[in-house]
């Protein structure tokens, strides 16, 4: 985390030492180090769950940029995930391209689609924007099914990456570090965006679009920038999942449920905060995995009833998310633990 | 002329199916138009209504069309209770709260059905057969479903235009504060509106169950079509919804016939987004008016000028 920034000026290095000296700073560092050491004692199954946490987390972080910072309630982000996943699957399998070329194509296509969809639909407000993005992901799902000869249709297709890559992601420990690194990179990007011009403009648009426009912010343009970045990161998650899961299917990739999940995770964690989607993913993905794979079947559906009830109760009584709800923990830590200088 | 035969068949089939789509969309349109609430759980309510009709047939031996008399009032009460418990607390919250609360409802309803009923498709066999309409062979249930859709639209129109509660609903939809100042309680109006919207689902459910078989996730297939129909037809515009439903039904049937059924969804989603965007950019007027009434307006303004 810090190597990257030490190459820049001394004042930044000074800021970092100061930030690390604070309890929240060195505790984060501790969590980071524990996470790095996890493969030493965690089982393969736990590593697998954590890799899923990272993949879903990237999507949630990406959603938070447009949905949380920008306040644009996109419910079609899975379409970018699908573009990433299918680009990798099709280009690697059918056209013999290397993984990186395929991934790059997926990301570029997603950015193009984000601009293409965003340009007209960002004139819509509230409900209508959400509905239009749903129509995009659902329409794309049917297109994938329609062009079944090319895409593999409803069954989907398996992905056979080059043997070196298959070996890398086949080893759970190495895969863990790869996905952890990408996850960390996405957190850095999200943090950078939050404190960049783009981030401040997005926040301004979320708070009051008309006021932002009156102050000279080109609102449509910055929303499209945010959406394109969000799309690129989600496509990255999709492409990475394609090689890790070695299988893509239309119902898994172009799924409204996944789109909703990104938004939901961010909501549970705390919308518009940097750490919200991270906390949300760490909380939600393991629970979902437990409910669907361990409980499964009928017990799983019973658990989902409870899940739905909890969601409704959370919306009614605690819509600000876990991070804000649990801010007293942070205050307590800041107040009780000593500052290191 | 074989071509004309096929064309009339497609149009007839599309109109019949579209009428049923409109029936599904009416409740959504009412709730969206009056309360500005996007009820994502609309399809899940529909699924429960379909099961209710199925069990009325299986246990009580009730004809699906007769079971409307039972299911619709029950769903009115169900809707009122839902409104009090879930919609009322978040009516003034941002859009995302309504979206997620209703998504939560979907999970509860779908998994309730999954747990207690199971995933086997349930179909009603009430002994309806085929018939010939204008020389085209069609299923009887589709014709009756269409007739019920027309009657329901007429009933809704009369309720909204000719009764006191209808007046209160329209007034609240237009201007909530002003309506409250005139002594109409928006709380009561919202309760009744949501109840009516769900009661309309209670009408649509038995009709759908007589045509299609029911599974826990059946609602998801129709809720998005319903949204398309609502946006095309106009919020709270009963006959607009009816026209839009038929339009989508014809598009559906035509695309399914000339290309493939899977392509009809992308086609009407494209229409959907195009209409939304054209409206937002002011090319089709800025209000929540339906597409057809707007085209009629444009046409009449051209005539007069």
**Contact at CB, A309 and B263, closer than 8 angstroms:** no
Closest residue of chain A to B38, computed from CA coordinates: A127
pLDDT band for position B1 (cuts 50, 70, 90): very low
**pLDDT tens digits, residue range B20-34?**
999 999 999 999 888
Closest residue of chain B to A67, computed from CA coordinates: B96
Q: Locate A280 and state its tokens.
A: 């949300």
**pLDDT tens digits, residue range B250-264?**
988 888 888 877 788
Sketch out chain A's domains with CATH numbers.
Answer: 1-34 (no CATH), 42-336 (1.10.3470)
Q: Of the candidates B90, B95, B106, which has its C-beta nearest A316's C-beta?
A: B90
Q: Does A258 touch chain B (CB under 8 A)?
A: no
Distances (CA, A) of A275 to A99, A128, A318, B166: 30, 28, 17, 48
Burial of B136 by CB count in 10 Å (0-12 exposed, 13-18 middle, 19+ buried)? middle
Closest residue of chain B to A318, computed from CA coordinates: B97
**Which residues 65-104 of A have a C-beta within 8 angstroms of B?**
73, 75
B42: CB partners within 8 A, 6+ apart: B24, B27, B28, B31, B201, B219, B223, B226
B154-B255-A116 Cα angle (round to 5):
100
Q: Of the candidates B104, B107, B114, which has its C-beta nearest A315's C-beta?
A: B104
**pLDDT tens digits, residue range B41-92?**
999 999 999 999 999 998 888 888 888 999 999 999 999 999 999 888 888 8
Q: Does A135 touch chain B (CB under 8 A)?
A: yes
**pLDDT tens digits, residue range B117-142?**
888 888 888 777 777 777 777 788 88
Q: Of the candidates B95, B115, B276, which has its C-beta nearest A73's C-beta?
A: B95
**pLDDT tens digits, residue range A136-187?**
998 898 888 888 888 888 888 888 888 888 888 888 888 899 999 999 999 9
Between chain A and chain B, the number of residue pairs with CB atoms below 8 A apart is: 122
- HSE at residue B276, side-chain half, CA atoms within 13 A, is 30
Q: Which residue has the tokens 């996850």?
A: A183
Residues with pLDDT less than 70, chain A = 1-11, 19-20, 24, 296-297, 338-341
Domain ranges of chain B: 2-261
SS3 B131: strand
Burial of B164 by CB count in 10 Å (0-12 exposed, 13-18 middle, 19+ buried)? exposed
pLDDT band for position B200 (cuts 50, 70, 90): very high
The answer to whether A46 and A289 are in contact (CB under 8 A) is no
B221-A236-A225 Cα angle (round to 5):
85
pTM of the model: 0.84
Q: Does A231 touch chain B (CB under 8 A)?
A: no
ipTM: 0.80
Architecture of domain B2-261: Orthogonal Bundle (1.10)
């Amino acid at each position: 985390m810090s190597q990257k920034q030490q190459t820049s000026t001394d004042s930044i290095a000074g800021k970092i030492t100061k930030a690390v000296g604070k309890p929240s700073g060195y505790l984060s560092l501790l969590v980071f180090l524990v996470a790095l050491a996890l493969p030493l004692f965690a089982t393969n199954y736990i590593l697998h769950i954590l890799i899923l946490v990272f993949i879903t987390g990237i999507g949630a972080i990406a959603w938070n940029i447009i949905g949380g910072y920008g306040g644009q309630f996109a419910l079609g982000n899975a379409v970018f995930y699908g573009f990433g996943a299918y680009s990798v699957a099709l280009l690697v399998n059918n056209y013999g391209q290397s993984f990186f070329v395929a991934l790059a194509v997926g990301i570029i296509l997603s950015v193009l689609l984000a601009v293409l969809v965003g340009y007209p639909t960002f004139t819509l407000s509230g409900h209508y924007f959400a509905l239009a993005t749903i129509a995009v992901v659902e329409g794309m799902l049917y297109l994938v099914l329609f062009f079944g000869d090319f895409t593999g249709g409803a069954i989907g297709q398996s992905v056979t990456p080059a043997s070196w890559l298959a070996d890398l992601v086949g080893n759970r420990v190495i895969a863990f570090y790869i996905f952890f690194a990408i996850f960390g990179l996405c957190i850095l990007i999200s943090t950078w965006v939050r404190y960049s011009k783009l981030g401040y403009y997005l926040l301004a648009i979320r708070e009051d679009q008309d006021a932002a426009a009156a102050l000279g912010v080109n609102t449509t343009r910055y929303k499209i920038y945010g959406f394109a970045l969000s799309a690129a990161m989600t496509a990255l998650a999709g492409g990475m999942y394609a090689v890790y899961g070695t299988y893509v299917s239309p119902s898994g990739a172009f799924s409204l449920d996944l789109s909703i999940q990104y938004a939901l995770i961010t909501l549970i964690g705390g919308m518009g905060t940097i750490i919200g989607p991270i906390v949300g993913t760490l909380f939600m993905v393991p629970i979902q995995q437990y409910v669907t794979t361990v409980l499964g079947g009928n017990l799983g559906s019973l658990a989902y009833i409870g899940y739905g009830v909890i969601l409704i109760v959370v919306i009614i009584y605690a819509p600000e998310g876990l991070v804000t709800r649990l801010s007293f923990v942070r205050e307590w830590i800041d107040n009780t633990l000593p500052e290191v200088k | 002329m074989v071509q004309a035969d096929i064309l009339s068949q497609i149009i007839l089939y599309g109109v019949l199916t579209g009428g049923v789509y409109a029936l599904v969309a009416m409740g959504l349109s009412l709730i969206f138009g009056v309360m500005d609430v996007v009820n994502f759980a609309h399809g899940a309510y529909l699924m429960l209504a379909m099961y209710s009709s199925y069990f009325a047939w299986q246990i009580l031996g009730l004809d699906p069309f007769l079971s409307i008399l039972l299911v619709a009032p029950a769903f009115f009460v169900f809707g009122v209770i839902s409104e009090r418990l879930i919609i009322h607390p978040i009516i003034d919250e941002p859009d995302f709260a309504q979206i997620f609360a209703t998504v939560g409802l979907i999970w509860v309803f779908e998994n309730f059905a999954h747990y207690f009923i199971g995933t086997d498709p349930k179909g009603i066999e009430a002994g309806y057969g085929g018939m010939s309409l204008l020389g085209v062979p069609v299923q009887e249930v589709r014709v009756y479903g269409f007739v019920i859709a027309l009657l329901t639209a007429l009933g809704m129109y009369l309720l909204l235009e000719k009764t006191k509660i209808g007046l209160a609903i329209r007034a609240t939809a237009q201007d909530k504060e002003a309506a409250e100042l005139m002594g109409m309680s928006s709380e009561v109006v919202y309760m009744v509106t949501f109840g009516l919207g769900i009661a309309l689902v209670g009408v649509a459910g038995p009709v759908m169950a007589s045509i299609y078989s029911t599974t826990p996730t059946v609602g998801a297939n129709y809720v998005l079509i319903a949204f398309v129909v609502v946006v095309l037809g106009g919020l709270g515009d009963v006959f607009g919804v009816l026209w839009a439903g038929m339009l989508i039904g014809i598009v559906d049937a035509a695309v399914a016939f000339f290309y493939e059924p899977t392509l009809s969804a992308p086609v009407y989603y494209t229409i959907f987004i195009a209409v939304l965007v054209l409206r937002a950019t002011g090319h089709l007027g800025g209000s929540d008016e339906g597409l057809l009434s707007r085209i009629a307006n444009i046409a009449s303004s051209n005539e007069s000028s």
